[in-house]
Structures are given as structure tokens and as C-alpha cells.
Amino acid sequence: MFQKILIANRGEIALRVLRAAKELGIQTVAVHSTADAEAMHVRLADESVCIGPPASRDSYLNIHQIVAACEVTGADAIHPGYGFLSENAKFAEILAAHNITFIGPSAEHIRLMGDKIEAKRTAKRLGIPVVPGSEGAVREDRAAKKIAAEIGYPVLIKASAGGGGRGMKVARSEADLSEALSTARSEAGAAFGDDAVYIEKYLEKPRHIEVQVMGDGAGKAIHLGERDCSLQRRHQKVWEEAHSPALNAEERTRIGSIVSKAIADLGYSGAGTVEFLYENGEFYFIEMNTRLQVEHPVTEAITGIDLVHEQIRVASGGGLSATQDEVRFFGHAIECRINAEDPRTFVPSPGTISHFHTPGGLGVRVDSGVYSGYRIPPYYDSLIGKLIVHGRNRVECMMRLRRALDEFVVDGINSTLPLFQELVGNVDVANGDYDIHWLENYLADHAADHK
């Protein structure tokens, strides 16, 4: 087991990793920018190192400084959290060259899944169902027309290097196709320095359902069920639940088995998430994230398995703590991402939190790195905390969520709490009856109510 782990991240996820390391009796090193000197993870870590000025590229993305912090403190492993360097294959390679363990998959698997065309090809080869579309990159308009005609309109042009929904364009008919292709190519080139694009069938009303997996790197893998993250705004997840209200036990077992077998065959190591769109009873692979996800706590709630413990165990060579048969699902869990943003316009609201009071009681978990008097720096994402609620079934979970939201107080800044108070009382949400466009449509329909 590791003696000391350096946490190359900030905010709630840095604290989340720190808690897991402490429970395992491992020393922790926090790194931070000058803007985060007062952060909770810095205060709670055994040691801390300032790695640079506020801008992420100079601090949390500064590989040189992070490796130096590791060497100075004698940390033998790094947990990257999510975002920042968590899916950077070069970072994983540099750590290996310094004999520091990267708590995550191999650089090779990170690279493979980071290229969406390669990822899709690999998924297909491993027996995972994919969205119908082009076999690889589409260079010529003529070839694009042929493929689009075969799969049928509407089609979606996607960037191979894509992320955050950038470089995606819908073409509803052949007349739109050339323009969609050239816009997607130039957006992708500008955003990622790679203008390779591919074509997929555009699904009109899918849900976003993702499967959590853990591999031991030696040919064994398990799945921990799925999460439904269909409630999104601008491709950002807002509300996540486990299980999906749309799946039954048979569908869950079927997709879970397909994915865990594929991950085992790949020889994948650590935590991963295989993301699907789900429509009319069919799953369509869209991408795999080779890291811990923001929404991992809903899976922890229904399985009782600590995913960060599991990541650390696997990275240190200890293997998986459970077999598939030992994974038991219990009840239902929902996570709300509380952002420091206006609940209607979503304009970020940095500043000082004058009062922060979190809910408690049975089945309530709050993962947050903020506190009363904390000043939210303007340089990073606006997530200030996650409220995760668990119940024996979805109805109990929703009742508990409603009361937990009522107890939650965030004063001094704007937060998205009021949005969740609306959602928890909405009939479609109560029925679990929503697709990936539902929230955007809801917000557009209700914009006038709040003018």
C-alpha cells in the first residue's frame, strides 16, 4: 500500500480523495494555487505545497510543479481527481518515468479512449453497442453524403478529439450537411488542434445512461450498475441518479455484463465510466471516461462500495475488493450539483459565502469543500458542493431530497439550490420521465416566469 498520496486537484474532489486516503491510513499531500491557500483540502491535508499562481495552466495543470511537489514531499502516488490532469496520458507517462504511481488506468488506455474515433472502434470490437455511423474520420463531403444517406437523417457531426460538447453539429438534411461539416471541422481545429470529424446517427430523444466499471488491470472487471444523467444543461450534468428510472433489472444486468466483459478483455485498470445514449430500449456507446466521475457518489450510495478506496487498492496492486456476485444494489440515490451560479441565467457568482449550512440525517451526504466565510475564487469551475440523498426506493429518495434541500443554506452568493427545489416538485421529474433535452426545454419554457 502507498505511504503518501499527493492529490493533484482542488475543491470537493480533493477533499473526497483526502478522506479516502485517511481512512486507509495513508498520508496526504495537498497542492494548491495561491488562490486556494485557504481551501479546506489544504487545511485538512498532512502537508501542502503551493504550486503556482491562480491560472490553472500555471498551477493545477503544471506537470513540472506537481512532480516537483511529489519529490519534495516523498509522495509515492498521485490521485488526479477529475478534470485537470486526470485524462492526460502524457502526465501518466511522466509519473511512471519518475517512479510515481498514477492512480488511474495506463497511459495507453487513457490515450485510446481520448480519441473518440479509436474509442468507438475499440468499443465495437469489444462487443459494446455503438451509434450507427462512419467507421472512422470523414474527410470528403462526398463520402459524408453517402454515409448520411445510409444511416438516415438527422445526423450528428462530431469531433474525434471532442470534449464538452464542442465541435458537434446536427445536419437535418443533405442541404445542411456541407455547412455542418465545415463548421464542425473548424470548431474542432480551433478547440483541439485536430479537425478530424466523424458522423453518427442523431438520436432525437435519448437518455444519458452510463455504466460504472472497475478493472484490476489483469483481466478481471466488475460493473457497479448504471447512472442516469439525462438532466443536463449545455451538455453539463445537473442531476444524476442510480439506478436509472428507465431500466429494469434485466436490462441493467445485460448492459452491465457486456461492459464489464469488454473492460476485462481490454485489461483495463481502475475506475472507468462507459457512457451511452439510450433510446427505445437500445444502448448506444458514446464515450468512455477513464477517471472518477463527479457523480460517482450515487453509485457508492446504492452499492456501499467506496470507489476511491477501490481506485487506491487497484493502483497499489491489491486487486478488486469484490467480485461481481458480491456487488449488491440497495435502494435509490440522487445527486444535485450545487453551483455558485444564478439559478436562471447560470451566470457564475464568485464571492464570499456568508453562511453555509448543510443538511444531515439518515441517507444524506454532502461533498463540499466550502464553509461559512469561504471566498470562492473566480478562476475555476463553479461547483461548490454535491448533495447526495439515498432512500430505500425512488419515492423515499425524492421525499428525503425535498426536505434536505429545505435545510440547505447558502448565503452571500447565488447558488443553483432554487432550481433543485423546483425540479424536486416537478411531475415529470417525479415520474422519472425525462430525456437529455428535458431540462433545456423546461428552462426555456419557464424563463418568462422569472423575468
232, 412, 421, 423, 431 from 402: Cα distances, Å: 20, 22, 7, 10, 15
Q: Which one of residues 84, 102, 198, 202 is an interface residue with ligand ADP (CB under 6 A)?
A: 202
Q: Does residue number 152 form part of the binding site for ligand ADP (CB under 6 A)?
A: no
Q: Does residue number 157 form part of the binding site for ligand ADP (CB under 6 A)?
A: no
Q: Does residue number 199 form part of the binding site for ligand ADP (CB under 6 A)?
A: no
Q: Does residue number 60 form part of the binding site for ligand ADP (CB under 6 A)?
A: no
Q: Which one of residues 104, 105, 162, 270 is an interface residue with ligand ADP (CB under 6 A)?
A: 162
Of 76-84, 198-206, 248-256, 309-317, which segment contacts ligand ADP by CB under 6 A?
198-206
Q: Does residue number 333 form part of the binding site for ligand ADP (CB under 6 A)?
A: no
Grid coordinates of 377? 475564487
Residue 376 near residue 340 (C-beta atoms within 8 A)? yes
Give the residue ranges of DSSP H helices in 37-85. 40-44, 63-73
Q: Does residue number 15 form part of the binding site for ligand ADP (CB under 6 A)?
A: no
**From the CB of 227, what's the least distance to ligand ADP, in Å?**
13
**From the CB of 314, what's the least distance to ligand ADP, in Å?**
25
Q: Does residue number 131 form part of the binding site for ligand ADP (CB under 6 A)?
A: yes
Grid coordinates of 31? 497542492
259: how many CB neighbours lie within 10 A of its CB? 28
Q: Does residue number 195 form part of the binding site for ligand ADP (CB under 6 A)?
A: no
Number of residues that bind ligand ADP (CB under 6 A): 18
Q: Does residue number 208 form part of the binding site for ligand ADP (CB under 6 A)?
A: yes
Q: Which one of residues 39, 40, 61, 156 is an interface residue with ligand ADP (CB under 6 A)?
A: 156
Q: Does residue number 425 form part of the binding site for ligand ADP (CB under 6 A)?
A: no
Q: Does residue number 438 form part of the binding site for ligand ADP (CB under 6 A)?
A: no
Taking the least distance from each CB to ligand ADP, the nearer of 41 and 291 is 291
How far apart are alpha carbons 134 and 152 in whole angstroms? 12
**From the CB of 237, what's the least distance to ligand ADP, in Å?**
8
Residue 123 near residue 284 (C-beta atoms within 8 A)? no
Question: CB under 8 Å to 134, separation ≥6 — which residues?
Answer: 143, 144, 147, 198, 199, 200
Site string for ligand ADP, 227-266 (x = CB under 6 A): --------x-------------------------------
Q: Does residue number 120 form part of the binding site for ligand ADP (CB under 6 A)?
A: no
Structure letter (DSSP) for residue 369:
-
Q: Does residue number 286 form part of the binding site for ligand ADP (CB under 6 A)?
A: yes
How far apart are alpha carbons 379 and 372 in whole angstroms? 20
Give the residue ranges of DSSP H helices in 84-221. 89-97, 107-114, 116-125, 141-151, 174-192
Taking the least distance from each CB to ligand ADP, the nearer of 153 and 329 is 153
Give the residue ranges of DSSP H helices in 229-278. 249-266
Q: Which of 262, 261, 227 is nearest to 247 (CA)?
A: 227
Taking the least distance from each CB to ligand ADP, the nearer of 235 and 355 is 235
**From the CB of 270, what's the least distance to ligand ADP, in Å?**
20
Q: Which of 5, 333, 330, 275 is nearest to 131 (CA)?
A: 275
Taking the least distance from each CB to ligand ADP, the nearer of 87 and 216 is 87
The amino acid at 85: L
Q: Does residue number 203 form part of the binding site for ligand ADP (CB under 6 A)?
A: yes
Beta bridge mates, 222: 214
Q: Exposed, middle or buried: residue 154 (CB in 10 Å: 0-12, 13-18, 19+)?
A: middle
Is 344 a residue of the active site? Answer: no
Grid coordinates of 442? 423546461
Of 44-52, 141-149, 156-164, 216-224, which segment contacts ligand ADP by CB under 6 A?
156-164
Beta bridge mates, 278: 207, 283
Residue 219 near residue 264 (C-beta atoms within 8 A)? yes
The amino acid at 273: T
Q: Does residue number 370 form part of the binding site for ligand ADP (CB under 6 A)?
A: no
Active-site residues, by number, are 291
Applying CB under 6 A, the residues found at the interface with ligand ADP are 131, 156, 162-165, 200-203, 206, 208, 235, 275, 277, 286-287, 436
